[in-house]
Amino acid sequence: MRADLSIDLREKLRQLPKDPGCYLMKNSLGKIIYVGKAKSLKSRVAHYFVPPSQLDLKTRVLAGQIYDVEIIITQTPLEALLLERTLIKHHKPQFNVLLRDDKEYPYLRINFKEDWPRLERVRRRRDDGATYLGPFGSSGQLRLLLDAAYRIFPLIRCSRHEFTNARRPCNYYHMKMCLGQCNLPVDPEVYRSIVQSAVDFVAGRSKEVAKLIEQRMLAAAEAENFELAAIYRDQLQAFAAVTEKQSVVTGDVDDADIFACTLTDHKASFHVLTVRDGKLIGGDNFLLEALLQDDKEALAAFLLQYYDGRSLPSEIIVPEQLEDDDDLRNALLSGHPEATKLDLRWPQRGTRLDLVEMAQKNAAYRLTEIARLNEKTQVELRMLQEHLRLARFPRRMECIDISNIQGTAIVASNVCFIDGRPAKDQYRHYVIKEVSGAPDDFASINEVVRRRLARAARDGDLPDLLVIDGGKGQLSAAAAATNDYPELNFDLVSLAKSRTNKRDRRTFMDKSAPERSFERVFFPDRDAAQPLAPGTPEFRLLTQIRDEAHRFAITHHRQRRSKLAHGSDLESIPGIGPTMRKTLLTEFGGLDGLRQATLAQLKAVKGLRESSAVALFSHFRSQEDDSEA
């Protein structure tokens, strides 16, 4: 046992039981940083408190931060495994395998409670009663699946607002890619069955989907509903065209997921191959932060999180036998009552081994590619530092942009790039508070920089390089804000478009003439701006973060303007509070639909007083009169 442990922790370790259970490691702030399971809590937990020389590097990092340990005793190791999964999902400890439920991996959402369900790409899984598929390894992979589903099934693609306010069917209807239920009579149950088939297709159940569509086509033809039979016939033809390109897996592998993982000191790459109906239908890669576990532990933890919300295949194939594989199998089955059997295999030969090796190569390749890109980015960042003569290596770059279209709803964006890549969890919006009256970019920038530096002084998240979108004036306003924080050391620049004649094509053609470039960098302590030559790493890095800040500001600005427009139309009506405003906008599909509502429709809204309905109706009619005048 280590000599530097507190008396309380020493005593707690001595009293640990030999029962199975879970242990929760806490740091000095009481935050849970690691959750583990054990057949014997006493022997397992003691492993973390041996002399550091006996631990591998990653475990040594964790052990150095452990200040306290909490345990939960269970009856069996299986209960400990199930509890561990729940605790990791709830606490999200930094040292555990985390298939994060955030914006990194997309989901497919289908709400069958709606009259006309649709397939929606979302970034968060919510407890709202809808069906979710995923998470998927990338937006591109999900987009390909959706494109295929849309080619096969006549699904609604338009927004709810467009659907509610459509006056005629869209072009997709005329191309036989939509049923046109926005304007035409369609049986909701027929459409619901089509959506379910699309969901099954995305989930990989191709054989069952094709068989079901064929049965529906024959039944419709027998009932002499030839129009419906033609719809199913078109689905079958599109289905055959989409699925014929999928690779056939030889052997007896019919319904399986194949997993492999590769770990380094900094990253973990998990690759999943999906086989359905004997065909290899796709692969997903998940790149996670560095982990404490070895390959077996990491893969077991990943499996439990991967199948949280996913249906189980008949077979899971892994490179080698996992620890407590029977408990792992039972834990997976416990969360899927519809599954009656699950084979967990680690092949030594044949088709399954070939698939495992394929997954392993893909997992390793992803890490190699990431390492190559990281090395390239580090070189480019070093070139940026040298070209601009920056004092600090610009590992963390931030850019501030102001958006004030026509002087309304002035907002600022602050985007962050770490190692040359967007760190979207660090993005921030600022609503300008101190500037009133006419828009003032300089005062707005000064306010935002002061607020950003106040946060940096408090939280320690200072950028290495802060880029201001603008010229000398904007830079001076930002530099003035730094006077209150002389202890904060970072580089400050602004990036502005050049005033070069845009018709002079030599600016683009002659990259050896940087003085003719369209981008200039200004510095607080230098008189002359420094031009950027198009095509250079410094040009790409700075314009990329500037353009991203502009995009982020414009997006938020539009949302804010829309919110203000909605609020100004409804907040002025007596008796309509926030809850009723939301109800009205939902009921009529947005502000445009609400404007077109009749007085009878408004009076029929549950909870809306008749006087408020009349006032609202009169308000919108008066707007029409004003516009006509």
Contacts of 279 (CB under 8 A, 6+ apart): 206, 243, 246, 247, 248, 249
556 domain residue, yes or no: no
Alpha-carbon distance of 493 to 469, in angstroms, equals: 9
Contacts of 269 (CB under 8 A, 6+ apart): 261, 262, 263, 285, 286, 287, 288, 363, 364, 366, 367, 370
Are residues 468 and 585 both part of a single domain? no
b/e per residue, 215-244, with b = 16+ CB within 10 A? ebbeebeeeeeeebbebbbbbbebbeebbe
399: β partners:
415, 467
279 and 374 Cβ atoms separated by less than 8 Å: no
22 domain residue, yes or no: yes
Are residues 532 and 597 both part of a single domain? no
| pLDDT value of position 345 | 93
Are residues 128 and 277 both part of a single domain? no
Alpha-carbon distance of 345 to 318, in angstroms, equals: 6
Are residues 522 and 395 both part of a single domain? yes
Tokens of 136: 């998927």
The total domain count for the chain is: 5
Which domain does 290 fall in, by range?
255-367
Tokens of 500: 């070069």
Are residues 281 and 323 both part of a single domain? yes
Alpha-carbon distance of 400 to 20, in angstroms, equals: 52
Burial label for 15, CB within 10 Å (0-12, 13-18, 19+), is exposed
496: β partners:
520
316: β partners:
257, 344
**Domain finish residue from 204, 227, 245:** 245
Whether cis (ω within 30° of 0) applies to the bond prior to 313 is no
CATH of the domain at 19: 3.40.1440.10
CATH of the domain at 470: 3.30.420.340
373 domain residue, yes or no: no
C-alpha separations of 427 from 241, 414, 418, 444, 558 in Å: 43, 6, 11, 18, 17
Contacts of 87 (CB under 8 A, 6+ apart): 22, 24, 35, 72
Are residues 199 and 334 both part of a single domain? no
433: β partners:
none
- CA nearest 303: which of 320, 319, 294, 316? 316
260 domain residue, yes or no: yes
**Domain finish residue from 221, 245, 269:** 245
- Determine if residue 366 is left, alpha or beta; phi over 0 gives left, psi from -120 to 50 gives alpha, anything else beta: alpha
559 domain residue, yes or no: no
| pLDDT value of position 503 | 52
Are residues 432 and 507 both part of a single domain? yes
Alpha-carbon distance of 65 to 58, in angstroms, equals: 12
Q: Which contacts qualify for 452-455: CB closer than 8 Å, 24 or more apart?
A: 452/398, 452/400, 452/414, 452/428, 453/481, 453/482, 453/484, 453/485, 453/488, 454/485
Angle between helices 77-91 and 325-334 (to 10 degrees): 60
Q: Name the DSSP class of 516.
A: G
**Domain finish residue from 220, 245, 270:** 245
Alpha-carbon distance of 83 to 513, in angstroms, equals: 64
State the residue for tokens 């997903």: 284
Tens digit of pLDDT for each residue in 418-460? Answer: 999 998 888 998 878 887 666 788 999 999 999 999 998 888 8
Tokens of 314: 């008949």
> Average pLDDT for consecutive 10-residue bins of the chain (629 residues)?
72 88 89 90 88 78 86 86 83 75 70 89 81 76 79 86 85 87 89 88 74 84 83 74 55 85 83 83 78 77 85 91 88 83 90 89 86 87 93 94 67 90 88 75 91 88 93 93 90 82 50 59 90 88 92 73 55 75 78 78 87 82 45
State the residue for tokens 């973390």: 48
Are residues 477 and 598 both part of a single domain? no
Tokens of 269: 């790459």
- CA nearest 73: which of 44, 51, 52, 95? 44
Please tell me whether residue 23 adopts helix, strand or coil conformation.
Answer: strand
Alpha-carbon distance of 560 to 553, in angstroms, equals: 10
| pLDDT value of position 291 | 62
Tens digit of pLDDT for each residue in 90-141? Answer: 888 888 876 654 455 788 889 988 889 989 888 777 778 888 887 776 777 7
E strand segments, 104-176: 107-110, 120-122, 131-133
Q: What is the CA radius of gyration of the chain?
A: 30
Are residues 126 and 67 both part of a single domain? no
Contacts of 592 (CB under 8 A, 6+ apart): 161, 165
Are residues 211 and 115 both part of a single domain? yes
Distance, C-alpha 462 to centroid of its chain: 25
498 domain residue, yes or no: yes
CATH of the domain at 585: 1.10.150.20
Are residues 159 and 277 both part of a single domain? no
% helix, strand, coil for the chain, step of 5: 45, 15, 35
519 domain residue, yes or no: yes
41 domain residue, yes or no: yes
Are residues 430 and 479 both part of a single domain? yes
Q: Name the DSSP class of 137.
A: S
pTM, to two decimals: 0.55
